[in-house]
Amino acid sequence: MHRSLQRLLLWVGTVLAAAATAHADTAADAYRTMGISPGDVLSGTVLSGRVLPDAEKLVVSVTTYFTGAREEGRAVNVRLDVFRRREGALASIHTRDFGAEHEGHVGRGDLQLVDLDGDGINEIIVSFDSHGDPLIDQRLTEILQYRGNGFEVAWAGPVEYDATKAARRVPVERRDHYKREIDWPATLGSRGQTLVFKKTMLAVAGERLAQPKSVAESFPLREAD
């Protein structure tokens, strides 16, 4: 079996095992710690995994929830939280409020924990919808790595993007429609140094392609040792 395929299968098994450990009571504990009523939660992913250099598995959650705000665009928020367990309770050690960072207009958050570089520490991959411009449909992804003093963004960008309707606001050369999917075998095969995408173009400069065109993209994630 090819080594990259072996690593991919190992990653799938790790993700499934992590999901199995995130029971409903853990999710309820996370919402309680965040001060969010479970009834306000639209969707939530709560996983357990090693995301810091120490051996302890932490609880990581991405929550999409009603805020109670009446202002349009701020009624729904997406949050990332990392918790340690202390004496049977959860204690927050890291939080990202994507609604605050993007001035609202976010939704449909999702979470993955993946060890991209084989060092035994999972990267945190967060995805969410951004509706800041009603004429542009886009889903954003951030990959967070622990680097010394905290979590840093190793890569951020759209994985779904459609600006073909924004004729008056977006330059012609950016009026594209595309989707990105991580090429897991290629990314894992680089031991986390390179993030590789399969990018499928559906429209270019506002013109829909007769047939979707797929290209490979690569971005640096970590400098070589």
Instruction: Give the tens place of pLDDT for each residue, 168-207.
Output: 777 887 889 999 999 999 999 998 889 999 999 999 988 9
Total number of domains constituting the chain = 1
- Residue 57: CB atoms within 10 A of its CB come to 18
In a domain, 45, yes or no: yes
Rounded to whole angstroms, how far apart are CA atoms 182 and 162? 18
Paired strand residues for 84: 91
Identify the pLDDT of residue 143: 96
CA pseudo-torsion sign 24, 27, 33, 36: negative
User: Which position has the higher pLDDT, 23 or 183?
Assistant: 183
In a domain, 37, yes or no: yes
- Residue 12: CB atoms within 10 A of its CB come to 12
Rounded to whole angstroms, how far apart are CA atoms 170 and 95? 32
Identify the pLDDT of residue 24: 55
Identify the pLDDT of residue 125: 97
Alpha-carbon dihedral of residues 138, 73, 65, 12, nearest 10 degrees?
10
Rounded to whole angstroms, how far apart are CA atoms 91 and 31? 12
Identify the pLDDT of residue 34: 93
Percent of the chain with pLDDT over 70: 88
Asked whether the predicted pLDDT for residue 15 surpasses 50, the reply is no
Which pTM was predicted?
0.85
Question: Which residue range is the domain that position 45 belongs to?
Answer: 3-220
DSSP type of residue 140: E
In a domain, 225, yes or no: no
Check: CB of residue 30 under 8 Å from CB of residue 83.
yes
Which of these ranges, 25-29, 47-51, 162-166, 192-196, has the smallest mean pLDDT?
25-29
In a domain, 60, yes or no: yes
Say how far residue 122 (Cα) sits from the centre of its chain.
13
